Structure formats: structure tokens, C-alpha cells
Structure 1
Amino acid sequence: MKILVIQQKMIGDVLTSSIMFEVLRAKYPNAQLDYLINTHTLAVVENNPNISNFIFFTKKEEHSKRALFKFAKNLRKNNYSVIIDVYSKLSSNIITLFSAANTKISYYKPYTTFVYTNNIKRYKNTKSKSGLAIVNRLQLLKPLGIEATDVKPKVYLTEAEIKNSKTLLESNGINLKKPLYMISVLGSGDNKTYPFAYMAKVIDRIVEQTKGQLLFNYIPSQKEQAQTIYSLCKEETKQYIFFDVFGKSLREFLAITKHCNALIGNEGGAINMAKALDIKTFAIFSPWISKDDWSLFENNDNVAVHLKDYKPELYNNKKEKEMKGEAYKLYQEFSPMFFYDKLNGFLQQTIS
């Protein structure tokens, strides 16, 4: 049997959808299980023993209809028995449509039902601590007779990667016997980034409570923004920040994070990656992102805070995504004072 899972775009989505392979491998130990992803997301699923092959959707196919159709026709030659389209957008609709698979599974959309043999309606709420993002993905396996719950994404690091990252940290003066925190200082965009002045206050609080060593998670193009947040921190706090120690690749970031007591900051891919490494997390949600969907496995080790928890009247029964255009205004309402108690409790259990 050959099965193709399609999940393009964001790193967090690709990591979260990788849970399917663990379940599929248990059901079909000898099957060929392939994963269609964008090239830049490979790092979070590299070395996953349950995935047979990676197929890359590149910018060429993304920006050219001709290239997309050629890609879909070539993929048809792989003769997949099952297509599971988690992405469920135009490009993956076309890829699935061209496929010769007998079973084609995706989420229900009234205008694409003709493409798929099984159209699964998403749950809008769940009692599961794993979160809707997990629950709805596992729903896509039901047409194969698979019932699964609470499967957690995993990142597979090599011993060499972990050893090299330890050497890097120690060579930069970091004492791994003392608390070490990775700070997700920036989100993937402005409307997913906690205001700089507020983030600086959160960082100050972390140092006040733990005297822990801090690493900033940022990419080179974000260095100026990260420096701005650094400049807003108290002078005492700055003594605990190792600003120039960071992963120069996504795999390096993952290996460094493995040595941290916790990852704290903007909700997004970094938070999900830390969870997949079994590192404790404290996530500050953007006001327009659904906490129900993306607060995965929330518990004492994985804490999440959202403006809606503190000022529900601002939403007036609107969905979070309806508030996207008001993200900046809503962020100003989201003072760190709201969640200091929660943060203090979280920090204490990371060093206890």
C-alpha cells in the first residue's frame, strides 16, 4: 500500500500533521508512507522513522499553474492507494484530482466535495486536552478504520546534534546546571507578535523570578527587532541574556532548545516544536488566533494565555479570525499584568 499525506506551508502545521504517520505506521507497518511538504519545513520532520519519503512542493509549483499541473501529473505515476489532503487548498485539490488513488480524504468544503471520496467535517470544539488541531487531523484517518486520540507530535534529533548543541552552549559561557530559557521574542508576523514593550516586561519578570539564562529565538532578518526588545529590558535583565547565541538553522534551534528548561513567548511554530521535544512551554497567543485550535496538550507543563481569557467582552461573540484586522489594537489591551500570576507559577515549576 502507498499513502500520501499532503500538508504544505507552515512549519507548525507540518509538524502537527506528522502525528498521522505514527498512527498509519502502526496500522500499516509495511506501507509506503510519503509526506508532501514545502522544502523549508523539512527540518521539523527530518529523521522521522515513520515517513518513507518526502516529496517537496517548491516555489516553482506555487507560482506557476503550468508547473503545478506537471507536478500533479508526475505524482500520479506513484500510484498511491490513499491520499490524505490535510492542506485542502487549490494546489492540493489539483494534486488530489489528478491522483489515481481510490481513497481521497480531506476536510469538508462544499465546493471541493467532488474531488474527494471522503469529506470530513471539522469539530468546532473538543474536550480533549490535545486541542482541535490534533483532534481534527486524527479525524481524517477514520475512513481507514483508524480511531486514535491524543497522539503527540515528535521531533527526532540525532545524538550528534544534541552533543554539538551542548558544546556550542558551553563554549559561549552558558552553564547547563543553571536554568536556561528560550524566548520566542517575535512571531511569524506583526499581527502574531506581542508588543515589544510588553515582551520586555515578560523577560524582566522571568529573570526576577529565576535568575535564569536567556536565549532569544530569532532569524538574522529579525535581528534589529530582537535588539529593540533587548534594549527595552532592564539593565539587570540584560546581564542574563545571551543575545548572540542562537541556532543558525532550524535543526540547530531544535537541538539548542532541547537543553532548555522551557520555551516562553509568542505562540507559533517554536512553541509547537518545543512541545514536540518535551520541553515545557508558556505561550502568549495573538488575539486573533484560536486558542481552542492551537493550544495543544495544555497542562501545567504547557501553559497558554489569550486576551479572550481576560477580556471576553472585547470579542462580542466574534471568532478570533474576525478580529485579525484589529490585532494591533487588541494587543495593546493584553497587558502582561493579566497573566503574571500564571507566569510566576509556571516559572517556579520549571526550576523546582
Structure 2
Amino acid sequence: MLREFREARKILIIPNDRVGGLFIGAPFYKVIRHFYPQAQIDLLVEEGKVSIARQIPFIDSILSAPQDMSVRSSAFKKIAGDLRLRSFDLCFCLGLDCSFKLTQLCGASGARLRVGFQRRGLRPFNIEVVPEEGTAYEGERYLRLLRIFGLSCNSEVRWTLAQDKVQKLSARVFNEEFAGGMIVAIDLTSGESEGLGKRQLEHIIGGLIERGAQALLFFSLADRKQVIYLKECYGRQVIPFEQDDMAATAALLGECAALISCNTDLLHLGLALEIPVVGIFDDDPRRWIPPQRRFAHEIEVSKVRQAGGARIMEGLEIALQGKKENA
């Protein structure tokens, strides 16, 4: 079996579909490419993340699946059939608690070797890795999995964006009066818990205006009412941008001085782009934030809306200072 593992020529990677899974897995993809330079490496992601996934340099092909697909749907059967036709030698399913549908897709992929973390009551893998107990950064768990098979190398990843797209979007979205000024991104989406509340946003945006900064509001369809209210209150001091294209979102986020966010995909994109981040968590942030990331400030609360606006703004100053010291 180890020989088959080493000689794999067609590899499928299925990132965790919990928040940030695509970005947290980037060092894993890099290690796989290093040890399989001639292999065909495919990545299976949700349809809404295809545009940003295409910017990952270690991957040959991006495959997609609907976000709301169930294992009994015709879409699931079609994707499973398409995967089997590709005759994968090796499939990795990342995440200790990814969705049931991903584990089943791995099992139905037809790959000769299917590697994943052991899941109680599920048997989709023929190589199961028992996760270590305790809290550890999610990305480090993936790299430990590879070290079991003797795969270890420099896994540091730096994300870069196409500057022509960045410049075009910046010119279209940002107000001319704020050209070169400080812009702080705020993620209004909720991720896996509730998002930031009205009072928190008022405190944050008010604090940004006091320091001469402007707020870039990333939102989804569900946040439209909140965006309308904030736009009516603050006018040109806030810039709404709907997150319907992850590549465009990344381009704008990379132009911001910092990001304030709950545990969302945007938070992990900000970490990948190495911009100062204030992350508000209602679970242990050690699982989601890489250790020793000085320009990331975590606020852990039992409920997201318990984080006071003043505490969030203090966290912003800490994250900005950490970035300066890390420069």
C-alpha cells in the first residue's frame, strides 16, 4: 500500500468545507505538489469558491460541487460518477469534522487509496488517521497527517493577486476622496454562528471615522437590510461590496489596512493575504488561527455579540501594531 501511495499519479484533494477550509489547506497542497511534481492534482471545492481556488498555483484542475447538495440528490450521483471516471489513485479528505457529503464523496470517488481522519460510524476511507487529542491549529493537523507518510518540506505559502484586477476594482469601488487613505474591511456575514450586531457595527464604524478611516462592508444577500441601514447612517464613509465573487473579494481585501470579522471564509482569506485581522470567535480560536501570527488578534467570547465595540477597536490597534513590528 505504501508503494501505491508513493507512486500515485492522479490525486484528488477535498478540503474541509467548514469555514476557511480552502485557505487553511494551502500548505498541504504545496507539500503534495512538492512530492508529486509529475502528478495530476485536482481540488474539489464548492461552486462559489472556484474563482479563488483557480489562483492556487499547486493545483492542476478545479472541480466543483453545489454547496447545498445532499447525498441522495442527482447532483451527488453525477459528481461521484464523474470522479470515478477520472480513475484517481489517491484521495485526501481533509478536516476532522467536514460534512457527511464530503466523506461520502471521497468514498464514492473510486480512488484506490482514500485517506482521511477517522470518523465514528463512517467507513469511507481505507487509510484512516486517528486525530491527536487536544486543540491544535487545523492546518497543522493536515501537515502531521502527511508526516506520517514521510512527506515533509517547507510548507509556507504566500498568496499573491493579479495586480491589474486589483487596480481596476479599486478604481471602481473606492471613493476618489479616499484614494491612498486608510480603509478597514468589515465582514457582515455570519459564517457558522451569528454575525456582528447593529451596536457593534455602529461602534466600529464610528471609531474608524474618528481616526479618518473608511469602512469597506463585505456582505451577502442575507445582509442587505443591515447594509441599507449603515449606508443611510454613514453615507460615503462606508462602501458596500457584495461577496459573490471570491477572487474579486480577495482583490479588494488585499487593498485594505485591516479586517474585522467573525470566523468566516473572509477571515481566513485575510490571514492568507497577511493583512492585520481582528477575529471574533465563539469557540477556541487556537484551532483556526496559526500560532505566532502577530498581526492577528483573537477575541474569544461565548456569543459573538458579547464582544464590545471598544474591545474590538482595541484589538484593531493591536493587530495593526503587530503588522508593523512584523514588517
Flag whether TM exceeds 0.5 (same fold).
Answer: yes
More displaced stretch, 337-346 vs 98-107: 337-346
| SS of equivalent residue, structure 1 residue 140 | helix
**Deviation beyond 6 Å, 4+ runs, structure 1:** 349-352
Letter in 2 for 1:125: T
Alignment partner, residue 4 of structure 2: none
TM superposition shift of 1:259: 1.2
Change (3 A) 1:174 1:267: farther
Between the aligned partners of 1:110 and 1:239, the Cα distance in structure 2 is 52
Secondary structure of the corresponding residue to residue 30 of structure 1:
coil
Relative to the length of structure 2, the TM-score reads: 0.82
TM-score for both structures, normalised by structure 1: 0.77
Q: Deviation string for 1:257-281 (max 9, x for gaps)?
A: 1111111233311111112222221
Say which SS state the counterpart of residue 192 (structure 1) adopts: coil
Q: Report sequence identity in percent.
A: 16
- Of the three residues 274, 279, 304, the one matched with 2:275 is 279
Residue in 2 that maps onto 1:254: 250
**Contact 2:209–2:237 (8 Å) recurs in 1:** no
In structure 2, the residue matched to 1:301 is 295
| Preserved contact between residue 191 and residue 263 of structure 2 (Cα < 8 Å) | no
Given candidates 92, 104, 117, the residue that maps to 2:114 is: 104
Q: What aligned pairs does 1:56-67 form with structure 2 within 5 A after superposition?
A: 56-58=64-66, 62=70, 64-67=72-75
Q: How far is the alpha carbon of 1:17 from its aligned partner?
A: 2.0
Aligned-pair RMSD on alpha carbons? 3.1
- Map of 1:1-352 to 2, 5 A cutoff? 1-7=9-15, 9-10=17-18, 12-58=20-66, 62=70, 64-86=72-94, 88-113=98-123, 115-126=125-136, 132-147=137-152, 151-152=156-157, 155-169=159-173, 172-188=175-191, 191-208=193-210, 210-229=211-230, 238=234, 241-244=237-240, 249-285=245-281, 287=282, 289-297=283-291, 299-307=293-301, 330-331=303-304, 333-338=306-311, 340-347=313-320
Which runs of 5 or more structure 2 residues have no equivalent in the other structure?
1-8
Does the 8 Å contact 1:155/1:276 carry over to 2? Answer: yes
- The size of the alignment, in residue pairs, is 315
> Are the equivalent residues in 2 in contact too, given 1:45–1:156 (CA < 8 A)?
no
In structure 1, the gaps of 5 or more residues are: 127-131, 309-329
**In 1: Cα distance, 2:194 partner to 2:99 partner:** 22
Cα distance between partner residues in 1 of 2:304 and 2:241:
29
Residues 120 and 81 of structure 1: CA distance in aligned 2, closer, same or farther (over 3 Å):
farther
Structure 1 residue identity aligned to 2:199:
A
8 Å CA contact 1:182–1:217 kept in 2: the answer is yes
Separation of aligned partners in 1, 2:268 and 2:111:
32
Paired with 1:298 and 1:142, the residues of 2 have a C-alpha distance of: 21
Distance (Å, rounded) in 2 between the aligned partners of 1:284 and 1:146: 34
The one-letter amino acid of 1:243's match is: I
In 1, are the aligned partners of 2:19 and 2:264 still within 8 Å (CA)? Answer: no
Compute the displacement of 1:167 (Å).
2.1
Opposite residue 225 of structure 1, the aligned amino acid is Q
Which residue of 2 is the match for residue 326 of structure 1? none
